[in-house]
Amino acid sequence: MDINIKRTGLERTMELRNKGELYYLVFPRIEELGIVDHLFSTRLGGVSKGYYSTCNLSYTRGDDKEAVDENYKRISEALGHGKKLNDFVSTFQTHTTNVRVVTEEDRGKGPYIQRDYTDVDGLVTNVPGIILSTFHADCPPVYFVDPVKRAIGLSHSGWKGTKGQISKVTIEAMTKNYGTDPKDLICAIGPSICGPCYEIGSDVADEFSESYTSKELEDNKILIKYPEHKYRLYLWNAIKLSLVKSGVKEENIIVTDICTRCNPELLFSHRIHHENRGNLAAFLALKE
């Protein structure tokens, strides 16, 4: 299949791979660590129909459960090592900064068994084989890998989560529970809407001004003012700043080169497809 990806910037930080019909994106630098399996899904290679076509990974948008189950099975095969539906643990996203510590008792909470929690936008674990899962259609995923303490985290960082510093909260959870030193972390900001595509109003801009100083906003190119009280919000830059301020080395932060809104044939985008869409997902698991 000939797939054209529109990329941002000059550095190619992600690669498109396939397992049979399923196409997905990976960070080669994360792969090179050798201790985790990960991917970010695309729309391609599932069995969902209509505007869920074809690899929708959400059970809450009206798609057929059997189709979503099959899509997860294909994801598990791409992740490898005999992973199954009962290895996934999913967030229950409501744009919070709540981070759940995932233990063996949580295994399967998501596509396999019903979640007994709500309002969770981030997950951390040190249990090998559990697949952390977050859902996306323009909001960035953030991957956290601690190769020293062998612990991982995965967070959904939309504008509310980014404003609330969910990356900082995730790192704090890893430090508290696993002894993670932020300087050891390798972090990656995954496919999502890019700054030039993300127009916001003054209300959201004002909220960001409460969390960042005017100097931080300007120096890090987080908010760019446009006419008629409009702005462009560069979430990737805001998340990167949050990671650096939390102690992550700048050279250990990988930023995607792929925008969801720029690639609507490959990726679901809320700005393009609105409610008539499926959900993408990010996945991260420690190797057993």
Question: Does a structural domain hold residue 74?
Answer: yes
Give the number of domains in the chain. Answer: 1
Instruction: Please state, in angstroms and rounded to a whole number, the distance separating the CA atoms of residues 171 and 146.
Output: 10
Question: Does a structural domain hold residue 5?
Answer: no
Q: What is the 3-state secondary structure (H, E, C) of 243-284?
A: HHHCCCCHHHEEECCEECCCCCCCCCCHHHHCCCCCCEEEEE
Question: Does a structural domain hold residue 3?
Answer: no
Instruction: Please state, in angstroms and rounded to a whole number, the distance separating the CA atoms of residues 181 and 150.
Output: 11
Question: Does a structural domain hold residue 216?
Answer: no
Q: Please report the pLDDT score of residue 223 as a whole number.
A: 96
Interior angle at CA 171, CA 150 and CA 129, nearest 5: 35
Question: Does a structural domain hold residue 242?
Answer: no
- 105: domain CATH number is 3.60.140.10
Q: Please report the pLDDT score of residue 56 as a whole number.
A: 98
Q: Which structural domain range is residue 92 located in?
A: 15-193+249-286
Instruction: Please state, in angstroms and rounded to a whole number, the distance separating the CA atoms of residues 247 and 46.
Output: 39
Question: Does a structural domain hold residue 203?
Answer: no
Query: Which amino acid would we find at residue 220?
Result: N
Q: Please report the pLDDT score of residue 1 as a whole number.
A: 73
Q: What is the DSSP letter of 140?
A: P
Q: Please report the pLDDT score of residue 10 as a whole number.
A: 84
Q: Please report the pLDDT score of residue 9 as a whole number.
A: 85
Q: Please report the pLDDT score of residue 247 as a whole number.
A: 98
Question: Does a structural domain hold residue 229?
Answer: no
Q: Could you tell me if 231 and 109 are in contact, meaning their C-beta atoms sit under 8 angstroms apart?
A: no
* pTM greater than 0.85: yes
> Which position has the token pair 């997950």?
123
Interior angle at CA 281, CA 25 and CA 29, nearest 5: 35
Instruction: Chunk the chain into consecutive blocks of 10 residues (it has 288) and report each block's average pLDDT, rounded to whole numbers.
Output: 90 97 98 98 98 97 97 97 95 98 98 96 98 98 98 98 98 98 98 98 94 95 94 98 98 98 98 97 97
Q: Please report the pLDDT score of residue 143 as a whole number.
A: 99
Question: Does a structural domain hold residue 243?
Answer: no
